[in-house]
Structure 1
Amino acid sequence: MSTSPDKAEAFRALHLGRPQDDPLVLPGPWDAASARAFAEAGFPALATPSAGVAAALGYEDGHTPADEMFAAVARIARAVDVPVSADVEGGYGIAPKELVERLLAAGAVGCNIEDSAEGVLKDPREHAEYLAEFCSAAAGRLFLNARVDTFVHGDGDPERAVERAAAYIAAGAGCVYPILAPVDALPVLRAGIEGPLNALALLDGDGPGPAALGGLGATRITFGPQLQRRATAAARELAAGLR
């Protein structure tokens, strides 16, 4: 299976020109069955969470072998007709051109790439160069969502996040993702970042919902591994009832 250029372009178009309060909501499937459930519910595209896929494969977050992650992404992309973006963590040490080819071979239309490794932020200039090589090799066939880990492994300064995001956008990223950015930082991020902005929505009323996040400036909403964890909790409850 390989990525359809039309599907990749459709995925890119979903990010553009969105009205405030109507961000693109992308559920995170962890296997083919969950992908089908989300697609059948009417979501126009999906974005795999590396932690959710890792859990489904029996690994701790950050410890999934690259071959297994790409195989899982391929099963998910093959199971649905909607575009699928893949979380490939920090790129698994794979050279940009090879990473592009592996994503395309898996049927992905885009990906997340983190800017930290083992809990430490990467040098933003070096990482921007890596992303620029990736985008050059992709030649428009993949939509890059560049993760900014300032609020996870950095000092949490929104202005520093804006600086890193600007470098990644200049490198060719179509969207940036300051993961775990606090709600009150979103207006600052929106004011300083050009183009689509990904925010993490929390379930169970622990934070603003997608529409509210959209009102604060987010144009793309993802959930990380929360949906997979919710499904696992439901399976535990079901199992307990069978005893």
Structure 2
Amino acid sequence: MTTLSDLADSFLKLHQPGNPAILPTVWDAWSANLAVAAGFSALTVGSHPVADSIGKPDNEGMTFDDLLTRVTQITAAVTLPVSVDIESGYGLEPARLIDGLLGVGAVGLNIEDTVHSEGGRLREPQEHADLVGQLRQAADEAEVRLVVNARTDVIARKIGDESDRVDRAIARLKLAAAAGADVLYPVGVHSDAVQRRLTAELPLPVNAIALPDKTDKAQLADQGVARVSFGPFLQFALAAEANRLLALWQ
């Protein structure tokens, strides 16, 4: 029988620069089963799509328990590795976060540096790295190499002066890498030059966000990306198609 530890190890091995793991962002058992039927090897659960699906706002408008309820339904429906976007941690202790994720069968997490419960402030670079280290320690104590994807919002939120914004994002993520992250996520839709710089200068596999109906998978691979997820954009694309179909009947 495949253990959580085995599943986590196999998930980490999927992260290959130039041959990225494509992780469709799902929000319920239905969307997860769609991705499995399409042949994907792992999934990520997005906070924005889950919150939308239960009628609550993103940015920690739902609780961690709300999220775990949905993840339980997804992991019961599929046998693939599942990673979970835990936003900025819901104000909970790292051990509680890790215990909750492992308890519902997840083997990865995204942790971002925007603290939604504190007015959307950005964690200081070392503060975020320390949280990453605490999550790593909690997972190690549970004896599961849960895959920690450290995210920074510096570029996406256009924090600070543009001239050194990428420098600051890289510096933040290097601290997270040193603290025990497995994957680094400078979230945002980047130019070719910026994406290549990120993959060249960051010391761990890099996650890129993609628009499933617009982004070129081959280009991301050529840029050295190791992991691709869709954030809310798969749900948005499906909603646009649903709206088109529904409009035919108005």
> Which has the larger displacement, 82-91 or 175-184?
175-184
Is the aligned partner of 1:215 residue 2:222? yes
Counterparts of 1:14-29 in structure 2, within 5 Å, are 14-15=14-15, 18=16, 20=18, 22-29=19-26
Residue equivalent to 2:127 = 126
How many angstroms does 1:131 deviate by? Answer: 1.2
SS of the aligned residue for 2:79 comes to coil
SS of the aligned residue for 1:196 comes to coil
Distance 1:112 1:86 in 2: 6
SS of the aligned residue for 2:188 comes to coil
Is the alpha carbon distance of 1:236 and 1:163 closer, same or farther for their aligned partners in structure 2, counting shifts above 3 Å? Answer: same
Is the aligned partner of 1:61 residue 2:62? no
How many angstroms does 1:181 deviate by? Answer: 4.7
Please give the per-residue CA displacement for 1:132-158, whole angstroms capped at 9, x wherever unaligned: 111011014310001111112323511
Please give the per-residue CA displacement for 1:46-77, whole angstroms capped at 9, x wherever unaligned: 01111111111111211122211111111111
Residue equivalent to 1:152 = 156
- Code of the aligned partner of 2:247: A
> Which has the larger displacement, 167-176 or 232-241?
232-241
Gaps of 5+ in 1: none
Q: With structure 1 as the length reference, what TM-score do the two structures score?
A: 0.92
Q: With structure 2 as the length reference, what TM-score do the two structures score?
A: 0.89
Residue equivalent to 2:235 = 228
Distance 2:231 2:103 in 1: 24
Distance 2:17 2:168 in 1: 27
Residue equivalent to 1:13 = 13
> Which has the larger displacement, 179-188 or 42-51?
179-188
SS of the aligned residue for 2:155 comes to helix
- Code of the aligned partner of 2:6: D
The runs of 4+ residues in structure 1 deviating greater than 4 Å are: none
Match of residue 142, structure 1, among 137, 141, 146: 146
Please give the per-residue CA displacement for 1:126-185, whole angstroms capped at 9, x wherever unaligned: 121111111011014310001111112323511111100101011111001000051221
How many angstroms does 1:211 deviate by? Answer: 1.8
SS of the aligned residue for 1:25 comes to strand
Residue equivalent to 1:187 = 196
- Code of the aligned partner of 1:219: A
Match of residue 52, structure 1, among 49, 54, 57: 49
Quick check: 1:202–1:223 contact (8 Å CA) kept in 2? yes
Distance 1:94 1:120 in 2: 17
Quick check: 1:23–1:211 contact (8 Å CA) kept in 2? no
> Which has the larger displacement, 152-161 or 58-67?
152-161
- Code of the aligned partner of 1:169: A
Distance 2:156 2:115 in 1: 12
Residue equivalent to 1:200 = 209
How many angstroms does 1:19 deviate by? Answer: 5.6
Number of aligned pairs? 237
Gaps of 5+ in 2: none
Is the alpha carbon distance of 1:19 and 1:148 closer, same or farther for their aligned partners in structure 2, counting shifts above 3 Å? Answer: closer
